Structures are given as C-alpha cells and as structure tokens.
Chains A and B, each alone.
Chain A
Amino acid sequence: GAVVSQHPSWVICKSGTSVKIECRSLDFQATTMFWYRQFPKQSLMLMATSNEGSKATYEQGVEKDKFLINHASLTLSTLTVTSAHPEDSSFYICSARDRAAYEQYFGPGTRLTVT
C-alpha cells in the first residue's frame, strides 16, 4: 500500500528557533502534498497545498513567511516553522496524493513542542 513518512515524529525546540519537518511518499509519486495542523480533539486544519516545482498555496490566515513549504521533488515536501513560538506547538500532519491514482494518504504526524 501507499506509505507516507514524516520525520521527525516529535521535536522539541526553543522559542525563536526554526524547525523543519519532512514528508516523503515512499512508494509512489505525489504531485500534490498537503500540510495540516491538528489541535487536541479537533479536526484537521489544512494549512497549505504543495505542488511539485511550484509555490505552495496557503489557506487563509496561515502565515506563509512563518510556515515555509518546499516541494522539491515528487516524493518530498518540507515544512519549516520559522521563529517558532509556544503557540505553534501542535500536531502537524502531511498527506500526499498519488499521481497515478486519486487517493490521498496521510503521514503519521509530527508532534512539535516549542518551549
């Protein structure tokens, strides 16, 4: 089956620093990847849509300068949280759409804690 990995699975960083999260489609090519944020006991909130080789499309209210997204290849997208603050602490989940099929597959998520 289609597998999406995320790295790291959890990270703790100090306020003011930046942290990068990687999302990889392991056994399929993904022209589109999505980044979500999820708070406890809430639904997934789409942050941005990332297309390979082009700029990401951010949802309304998401700061593009704070959440930098790069989709450098058909199997890798990265989310960099710049100048992180405690309010950025959350569960970040990526998903990838199979180029050949249609389904969207989710990664295992990354728990970010900013101290």
Chain B
Amino acid sequence: QQQVKQSPQSLIVQKGGISIINCAYENTAFDYFPWYQQFPGKGPALLIAIRPDVSEKKEGRFTISFNKSAKQFSLHIMDSQPGDSATYFCAAINRAFTGGGNKLTFGTGTQLKVEL
C-alpha cells in the first residue's frame, strides 16, 4: 500500500514536445505529492509539488495534474528542452503521520531524454 508506481521507465521526446510522466498510488493517506529532478551524479532537486485538494498546479513549463478519485498524478513538461534531460521521480508522503519520520515514498524514476 506504500508503493508509488511510475511510468514510463524511460522516455524520448523531441525538442519542443511535451513530456508526460505518470504516477499512481494506493495509500489514500498520502497528502503531498512532490516531483524531483535528478541529473547524473547529483542529488534530487524539488521541481514542483501538489496537494490533493488541487487538481492542477503549473510552474513555468512544468505542470502537475492530479486525479484524486483515480489516485493518479502526472507531470507534464511543455516545450521540452535538451536541458530537461534527467531522471524524474514522483513521490508521496503523509504529512500528518508522526511515526517513522514522515518518509517520502518514491516512484521508480523515469529517464527523460530530449533530442534535438
């Protein structure tokens, strides 16, 4: 029940195209859903995050769509650029949970490559 399933595992998009990465969860207690971007040899960096009371959040070219009833959320990268080539991880957490230190549950990651 703690799993977050992420797809696709890898994705190749042409420059200027839209990259879409999907995640699904089972635990309805999750109440915060961040996305992280990780470049090779670097730590993950918070990209954008959403709460379940919001269906969409946009920051620049990055948009999270959230479907609470389906327990799914997705990251859309508009006008994808070669510099967006990285690994993207979705995550989920129950912020109110006091046991175990409020751990992030990560998806398995998506390797995005944006080609010229």
Residues of A in contact with B (beta carbons under 8 Å apart): 4, 6, 32, 34, 41-44, 46, 49, 51, 57, 91, 93, 95, 97, 102-109, 111
Contact = CB atoms under 8 A, between A and B. Distances in A.
Contacts of B45: 106
B95 to A, nearest CB: 6
Given A41-B111, A49-B101, A102-B95, A107 B106 contact: no
Contacts of A105: 46
Contacts of B103: 34, 46, 49
Contacts of B101: 32, 34, 49, 51, 57
A103 B109 contact: no
Contact of A106 (B36, B41, B109): B36
B106 A44 contact: yes
B6 to A, nearest CB: 8
Contacts of A49: 100-101, 103
Contacts of B106: 43-44
Interface string B89-116: 1000001000011111011110100000
Question: Which 4 residue pairs spanning A and B have beta carbons closest together?
Answer: A49-B101, A106-B43, A109-B43, A108-B43
B59 to A, nearest CB: 14
Nearest to B109: A43
Given A34-B103, A51-B101, A57-B100, A42 B109 contact: yes
B33 to A, nearest CB: 13
B44 interface: yes
Contacts of B46: 103-106
Given A102-B95, A106-B36, A44 B100 contact: no
A4 B89 CA distance: 19
B113 to A, nearest CB: 13
